[in-house]
Structure 1
């Protein structure tokens, strides 16, 4: 349910490498336009040159969006891997204390888990509350990163949509 940091990182790398290629393509188009500009005369040539310049600009803008999305994905993948490690460590700590972590909640394990005296019960509750707070912190931090990633992907999608629509116009 948490996600796969390796897959996120692979997607981020793919996006960023494609962004580098798109930047190179935009620069190659700009260089070709500059080389061909002296020979292009007339209204038809001017319109084609303007369209090619818009295409080069849109390509560079798209590459920037892909690179930004890739950086965000890398950051999220790193945070996700760290969160998974922290949650596993907390689950192990909970297990050693006779507690279980289920769906983000720290609960007493089933069955008899220790001595039933007031001090032991109070100590077990203190440990449970401390673990619950730490689990909540990790899950909340992970949720914030997912929200940021979702917003970045939405921005990139909107940019790609508007850029595509502008190029078709």
Structure 2
């Protein structure tokens, strides 16, 4: 492939799946902790028990929030992996199409191959230029879509980072 390394969809998807599994475990732990606090509340009087129950309830709530954030990030990574795999496949198709026309796709630009190509015919040269421009437009559309997908992933990851930071702040109190 003459395009630069675009990423590894399989690794992104595996990371997303791992985060989502961890989120499931955390959500179950948060529910178990909340249930334990509720079960221990009757007959557990005193100011110390109230503080401990409050702190434990906060921990259960934040565990659930962290699980939700991890699940969202994992889902975003898996969606981005699918988008990336589709973009890589499309770019490979376009490179193959370019090669059959005697053209090359290098770093997002469709250019003529090295050496003598074509014939000395003005009409044929215009036709070739038209094909090259159409192919260039398809390459540009694919790369632009990939950029939009990456921007969406970056936004989702930043949102997840914010959720995790807020949960950490709550737990430090």
SS at match of 1:39: coil
Unaligned runs of 5+ in 2: none
Once residues 171 and 162 of structure 2 are traced to their aligned partners in structure 1, the CA distance between those partners, rounded to angstroms, is: 14
Q: Which of 103, 117, 129 is residue 121 of structure 2 equivalent to?
A: 117
Shift of 1:39: 2.7
TM-score in terms of structure 1 length = 0.98
Q: Which of 9, 13, 17 is residue 9 of structure 1 equivalent to?
A: 13
Unaligned runs of 5+ in 1: none
Deviating runs (4+, > 2 A) in structure 1? Answer: none
Once residues 2 and 39 of structure 1 are traced to their aligned partners in structure 2, the CA distance between those partners, rounded to angstroms, is: 60
Q: Which residue of 2 aligns with 1:151?
A: 155
**Aligned residues: CA RMSD:** 0.8
TM-score in terms of structure 2 length = 0.95
After superposition, where does 1:8-157 map in structure 2 within 5 Å?
8-157=12-161
SS at match of 1:70: helix
> Is 1:166 matched with 2:170?
yes
